[in-house]
Amino acid sequence: MTKYVRLDKYLADAGAGTRSEVKKMIRSGKVRVGETVIRQPEFKVASVSAKDGGDAVLLNGVPVLAQPEFVYYLLHKPKGCVSATEDRQEKTVMEYVPDSRKGLFPVGRLDKDTEGLLLITNDGALAHELLSPGKHVEKTYYAVVQGVVTPDDVQKVSRGLDIGEDKETLPGKLEILNTHPESDPPKSEIRLTICEGKFHQVKRMMHVLGKEVLYLKRISMGPLTLPENLKKGECRLLSEAEISALKNR
Model confidence at 243: pLDDT above 70: yes
pLDDT at 14: 82
Percent of all residues in the chain with a pLDDT value above 70, rounded to a whole number: 97
Q: Is the pTM of this model over 0.85?
A: no
pLDDT at 17: 87
Percent of all residues in the chain with a pLDDT value above 90, rounded to a whole number: 80
Q: Which residues are catalytic?
A: 111
The predicted-structure confidence for 56-67, as pLDDT tens digits, reads as follows 899 999 998 887
Among 29-43, 62-76, 115-129, 159-173, the minimum mean pLDDT is found in 62-76
The predicted-structure confidence for 24-62, as pLDDT tens digits, reads as follows 999 999 999 999 999 999 999 887 766 666 788 999 999
Q: Are 195 and 172 in contact (CB under 8 A)?
A: yes
pLDDT at 51: 67
- 3 state DSSP class of 170: coil
Q: Which residues lie closer than 8 Å to 16 by C-beta, 6 or more apart?
A: 22, 25, 59, 64
Nearest-angstrom CA–CA distance, 247 and 249? 6
The predicted-structure confidence for 174-193, as pLDDT tens digits, reads as follows 999 999 999 999 999 999 99
Nearest-angstrom CA–CA distance, 173 and 155? 9
Mean local confidence (pLDDT), 204-210: 97
pLDDT at 68: 80
